[in-house]
Amino acid sequence: MDIQLLGGKVILLTGGTEGIGYECAKVYCEAGAKVSIVSNNLESIQQAKKSFDNDCIHYILADVSVARDIENAVAETIKRFGKIDIVHNNAGISSPSSTVCDTSDEEWDKLFNVNVKGIYHTTKYAISQLTKTRGVILNTGSLVGEIGQERHAAYAATKGAVSALTKSMALDYAADGVRVNAIAPAGVWTPMLRSWSRQQINKEEIEEYLDNIHALGYCPDSDVIADACLFLISEQARFITGCILPVTGGAELGYRKLLQSNPTAV
């Protein structure tokens, strides 16, 4: 990897202290970027500080669902690093694992406020910087936004919204030279997936199930997603916008068939 692939770039990364976001922050720093990480979890920030070179990373305690928090996070990033070239909207939640009718109003609203409205907030407050730098927005979506998922209706709905929003934003900001794309993983071993797996009715079979839904035969760790994210935000992807890039190990090629043959798998 060219260690200067992101040389001189400044990235605002939400949800960057664990899982996919953590691996992305690590890869982005290795590629030469400065990264401002937004997290609403002080404990996870403190844990991440033990692993990262803090000359590369700046941490901000903020909630993506709160407009004032993100307005302040953008201003703090600019004060610290002087500009913003890239916004990676990675923060997200998945709970509850339930049908529409079993999802409460509060759970529904929280999912949309974090997973979708968080993108609205970062874009609203950072777009003036991105138009100056002819920058990039990357959203972390999911394969389930395209194909759905049993007992995960609200989460799948938010990821479908992320895909549609990504394409609309790509059209809106193309004239300003701002590219907007999304990454769409299938199963990836993260703390959030571990939490999800514990909510399933057949917990003992979940690991094997997650391996089997991927055509390549295994459920990956977050580093495979981080490598794809690095490509999409770099100049190597300079003519790509409005793309929902599946990084799925071929999960969509056999996912529906597997669910039909094993309807209690998820």
Cα(161)–Cα(164) distance, integer angstroms: 5
- Residues assigned a catalytic role: 155
Torsion sign across C-alpha atoms 190, 224, 92, 161? negative
Strand order in the sheet with 244-247: 57-61, 34-39, 10-14, 86-89, 136-140, 179-185, 244-247
Cα(171)–Cα(166) distance, integer angstroms: 9
| 5 closest CA partner among 235, 223, 238 | 235
Cα(35)–Cα(80) distance, integer angstroms: 10
Q: Are 130 and 178 in contact (CB under 8 A)?
A: yes
Question: What's the one-letter identity of residue 95?
Answer: S
SS3 content of the chain, % helix, strand, coil (to 5): 50, 15, 35
Whether omega before 96 lies within 30 degrees of 0, making that bond cis, reads yes
List strand residue ranges (DSSP E) for the chain, in order.
10-14, 34-39, 57-61, 86-89, 136-140, 179-185, 244-247
Q: Are 182 and 170 in contact (CB under 8 A)?
A: no
